[in-house]
Structure 1
Amino acid sequence: MTPVCPFVKASRPDDSTPKKSGENSVKHQADSDSKCPFSKKEASDSASSSPKCPFGYDQNSFKIGPFSCVICQALLFESSKCVPCAHIFCKACISRFKDCPLCGADIEKIEPDTNLQGLVDRFIEGHARIRRSVSSNQGEETKESGQVEYEDVSLERGSFLVQHAMRAFRAQNLESAKSRLSICAEDIRSQIEKAGDTTELCSQLGAVLGMLGDCCRGMGDANSAVAYFEESVEFLSKLPKDDKEITHTLSVSLNKIGDLKYYDGNLQAARSYYLQSLNVRRDVIKHNSTVPTQVLDVAVSLAKVADVDRNLGDEKLATDGFQEAIDMLESLTLDSEAIGLEQRRQSVLEFLKSQVAEKQEQVETQVEATA
């Protein structure tokens, strides 16, 4: 699934839901990208100096520092030392190797490095408060000898943690990703307790909860994944429906609950969630009917609902849904530069047409058998 992330346009975890044997990959195909609700945050006071981290962790570039694992390029999680070379990695990352990725030495055993992990954990906690210079009320430039104070910048910390969570997720270090996202979610919850259910905070929490659901799903914990996705839907449903990115993230969470119900064999529940997602996307294209990604999203949702209808034995409803999606995609005009979207359109079209053709072949076979 095409990643979606709520912070500074970082990637959301890929859709790693296992497919049923023989199942077409387009059926539960990924949804399109979503922008970051954190990008809407007001810029810091121009009088404040840009914070600098002595360990090289920059709020914008997120470069690898001494507390990073060189395999997943994220902050160390369950720091583990290779014996005898003493190089340190995340436990989940180094467990896949028989020799050290840095020096090539044979790994005789792996030992936990609790002291270093303690430093990493304290570093994360300290990253919530960044030292900034304070200027005068008249907005004069900061003096070198001016006062300094510590300001609560938990949203910047959230962005920092999610960047590292996404790195860990892409490297399949799911426990690390889940841990970082959990800290971020708690940060946002504490902000909501102080400021109330603001649009910005609900949007951020809804997206982070969705990513936690992705982590649990990747770890095979379907029940926890559903719980996170449902909570994500709860927060995102509180928001105005005039933001395309918010509604897209909402529809993705609904689809993912539907996917989990589908694979669990609960087709009625799967259809209910798929239909809710479809309705959200239909509402969006009422005002954005010429946006290709929105049209593609509706076509994918139509395919999901139609597939469940077929499995429930309602062939007419299924065929109508597949055909509606085909008509939408065949009438969709894309720019010559939109190569990626065109490939996706063709992929979905191929699946939809195969579903319609499959039923036609079945009908023809039955007619021949009774002739």
Structure 2
Amino acid sequence: MSSLCPFAKLASAGGTCPVKSDKNTAAASCPVNSNNNSAGVCPVTGKNHNAADHKEASDVNGNENNTDPRMVPAKCPFGYDSYTFKLGPLSCMVCHALLHESSRCTPCSHKFCKACILRFKDCPLCGADIEGIEPDDELQALVDRFIDGHARIKRSLAAGDGEVVGDKSKVIYEDVSMERGAFLVQQAMRAFRAQNIGSAKSRLSMCAEDIREELKSSLDNQELCSQLGAVLGMLGDCCRTLGDAPSAITYYEESAEFLSKLSKKDLEVLVHTLSVSLNKIGDLRYYDGDLHSARSYYARSLDVRRSAVKENSAVASQVIDLATSLAKVADVDRNLGNESMAVEGFEEAIKCLEKLKLDSEQTSLEQRRLSVLDFLHKQLDDK
């Protein structure tokens, strides 16, 4: 799964992308909405909060007195500020993401994601023998409720601005992908890294559904197309890891379709998402034995990377990506019996890498350059 954050441009005011950083924020001083919890008791931690605590937290975190009266600040369903709430009670200690298919070990009663705990014979928290695993529907319902309401930004239409149902103004959700989307992608990437693919796929599916809903009223929104393309590519990665190649190809193709609508000037998205999705389709076609189809997708990816390097020839990573695409196309040409075309592609890739000069600080890129260069030379030696 790519580490590229599809929501990087919509990061919080603190300047930290919520997907690229897994660091916890401030301690959980939870402002409780008195309308939802008159006793002032946190439904997760059980701590009491008085009205003064709520007022102080609102002044510090939400500045509620200064907001547009039509806007409801983004809150989790329990009334906590989304930037200060600790997810500990609702997260799995194995994958460090929100619980998915919450399961309870017997007899110790510790709780984990089902996919995570099935890997263990002893409880990873207390070490007790696991005699059985039972679903915890009540806890999962709590997690689902948190996800459903987390960071949604909702707005009640002012009088005269929209339809009124009964005595209540119609409430619409807008910019759902900005906060909730980044949160869901963060949780998905944590789960994916821990090999809890089912959890990752579930969170990404929710995110994709949110963005699709927004696109219905904003079909030409470049930012939303970018986000959806990236999320669909990640869903393809999940299906590919699960061994579901047909679904992976479907997601990658849809990802490429949305990303192809973007401005050609958006280098980062084009190179790191569109070309990657096209190459992954090519890989799956290649391993399935459909070389002609594989070459078609590799060639499309190569065109994207040629264009990117033409506009930004000084970006070293783009030059290395270009050489990699050249190698993929050349490898298929060789397997199709087009040896002269294959040699030409390998040689062009070598020239690109040999002309590339890197600073001493770019050690990781230099290692990658040398690795690709070594592969290319071996391909020419084997002709």
Match of 2:317 among 293, 297, 302: 293
The offset of 1:274, in angstroms, is: 0.2
The verdict on how the C-alpha distance between 1:153 and 1:283 changes in structure 2, with shifts beyond 3 A counting, is closer
Structure 2 unaligned regions, length at least 5: 9-16, 21-61, 156-170
Q: Does 1:237 align with 2:255?
A: no
- Residues 184-263 of structure 1 aligned to structure 2 (within 5 Å): 184-248=207-271, 249-263=273-287
Mapped contact 1:57–1:65 kept (Cα < 8 A): no
In 2, Cα distance between equivalents of 1:2 and 1:198: 23
The offset of 1:245, in angstroms, is: 1.2
- Residues 331-370 of structure 1 aligned to structure 2 (within 5 Å): 331-359=355-383
Give the match for residue 114 of structure 1: 137
Mapped contact 1:64–1:73 kept (Cα < 8 A): no
Mapped contact 2:76–2:150 kept (Cα < 8 A): no
Match of 1:264 among 281, 288, 296: 288
Give the match for residue 4 of structure 2: 4
Match of 1:174 among 154, 175, 197: 197
The offset of 1:192, in angstroms, is: 0.4
Name which structure has the greater RCO, CA cutoff 8 Å, separation 6+.
Answer: 1
The one-character-per-residue Cα deviations of 1:81-116 (angstroms, maximum 9, x if unpaired) are 000000000000000000011101010011111111
AA paired with 1:336? S
The one-character-per-residue Cα deviations of 1:293-343 (angstroms, maximum 9, x if unpaired) are 110110000000001011111111111111110111011000110010000
- Residues 147-166 of structure 1 aligned to structure 2 (within 5 Å): 152-155=174-177, 156-166=179-189
SS in 1 for 2:220: coil
The verdict on how the C-alpha distance between 1:330 and 1:60 changes in structure 2, with shifts beyond 3 A counting, is farther
Mapped contact 2:212–2:228 kept (Cα < 8 A): yes
TM, length-normalised to structure 2:
0.76
In 2, Cα distance between equivalents of 1:108 and 1:130: 44
In 2, Cα distance between equivalents of 1:120 and 1:254: 35
The verdict on how the C-alpha distance between 1:102 and 1:353 changes in structure 2, with shifts beyond 3 A counting, is same
In 1, Cα distance between equivalents of 2:352 and 2:146: 51
Q: Does 1:276 align with 2:273?
A: no
In 1, Cα distance between equivalents of 2:249 and 2:236: 7
Aligned length: 312
In 1, Cα distance between equivalents of 2:227 and 2:243: 25
The offset of 1:65, in angstroms, is: 2.3
The offset of 1:131, in angstroms, is: 8.5
Give the match for residue 99 of structure 2: 76
The offset of 1:285, in angstroms, is: 1.0
Give the match for residue 365 of structure 1: none
SS in 2 for 1:347: helix
- Residues 28-67 of structure 1 aligned to structure 2 (within 5 Å): 47-48=66-67, 64-67=87-90
Mapped contact 1:128–1:152 kept (Cα < 8 A): no
The verdict on how the C-alpha distance between 1:200 and 1:124 changes in structure 2, with shifts beyond 3 A counting, is same
Q: CA RMSD in A?
A: 2.6
In 1, Cα distance between equivalents of 2:250 and 2:150: 29
The one-character-per-residue Cα deviations of 1:260-291 (angstroms, maximum 9, x if unpaired) are 10010100000000000000110111111111
The verdict on how the C-alpha distance between 1:260 and 1:57 changes in structure 2, with shifts beyond 3 A counting, is farther
The offset of 1:6, in angstroms, is: 1.4
Give the match for residue 326 of structure 1: 350
Mapped contact 2:151–2:180 kept (Cα < 8 A): yes
SS in 2 for 1:313: coil
The one-character-per-residue Cα deviations of 1:215-263 (angstroms, maximum 9, x if unpaired) are 0000000000000000011111111111111211111110010001001
SS in 2 for 1:194: coil
AA paired with 2:278? L
The offset of 1:196, in angstroms, is: 2.1
The one-character-per-residue Cα deviations of 1:46-77 (angstroms, maximum 9, x if unpaired) are 95498565989875688542110011011100
AA paired with 1:263? Y
The verdict on how the C-alpha distance between 1:62 and 1:358 changes in structure 2, with shifts beyond 3 A counting, is farther
The offset of 1:213, in angstroms, is: 0.4
AA paired with 2:176? S
Mapped contact 1:56–1:64 kept (Cα < 8 A): no
In 2, Cα distance between equivalents of 1:193 and 1:287: 33
The sequence identity of aligned pairs, in percent, is: 66
Give the match for residue 137 of structure 1: none
In 1, Cα distance between equivalents of 2:282 and 2:376: 19
In 1, Cα distance between equivalents of 2:91 and 2:334: 49
Give the match for residue 334 of structure 2: 310
In 2, Cα distance between equivalents of 1:188 and 1:75: 21
Match of 1:100 among 123, 129, 140: 123
SS in 2 for 1:74: coil
